[in-house]
Amino acid sequence: MHRTLLAQGLVLSLSPFGCSTSPKIPEAYGKAVVAVDGEELVLDTGDDGKQPVPRFDDGWDVDCSLLNGETNLELVDHSKGRRGFYYLDLHLLGSKRKGGDAAVVNMRMYVDDDLFYGSCPATLRTSQQEPHECDFSFSDCELHLLGSAQDVVPARLELASFHLKWCFVQ
């Protein structure tokens, strides 16, 4: 009885700090293609972006959350050993619209040791059946290299599409 009350107290005390109300482990799947200096690089969760990667996968770091209508995703492919296109961090700012939500994606990505960033228009759709699930896609976006002149565009996001499930609701 004492342990049950202690566990309930711990859960209640952590709720204001954004702990998950989702009953399952978060997962994501998808693919992003970026062109850097004329070379096309791909970040793919597997099977052309159709293989889900759970949060606690050995080869990937997956972190996703839904906070006040904003979706956040961080993907790191450890199999690439910090080489090539191995890191993607997305922060989607959504606004409601019928037939899909118009959104803006603020993103950061690493290619080797270079950090690129940019803001891109996107489509964000949340599942009508499941509040912990959404799809988003975006394409044709200029990316800037951190620390370089703003008028230089060394990278271009060709396309990206991701599906998030059981993300943390904060």
7 part of a folded domain: no
User: Position 86: which residue type?
Assistant: Y
User: Position 64: which residue type?
Assistant: C
Model pLDDT, residue 13: 28
Number of domain units in the chain: 1
Strand 60-67 relative to strand 168-169, pairing? parallel
18 part of a folded domain: no
148 part of a folded domain: yes
Q: In this structure, is the dihedral angle defined by the CA atoms of residues 142, 52, 58 and 47, taken in order, positive or negative?
A: negative
Low-confidence residues in the chain, pLDDT < 70: 1-23, 69, 94-102, 128-131, 149-153, 170
Question: Domain of 159?
Answer: 24-169
pTM metric for this prediction: 0.78
Q: Are 164 and 134 in contact (CB under 8 A)?
A: yes
86 part of a folded domain: yes
Half-sphere exposure of 37 (CA within 13 A, CB side): 6
Q: Are 74 and 107 in contact (CB under 8 A)?
A: no
Nearest to 29 by CA among 167, 120, 161: 161
10 part of a folded domain: no
11 part of a folded domain: no
User: What's the CATH number where 159 sits?
Assistant: 2.40.128
Element of type H or E holding 102? strand 101-111
43 part of a folded domain: yes
19 part of a folded domain: no
pLDDT digits (tens, 9 = 90+) for 67-112: 776 788 999 999 999 999 999 999 887 655 545 566 788 999 999 9
Model pLDDT, residue 131: 62
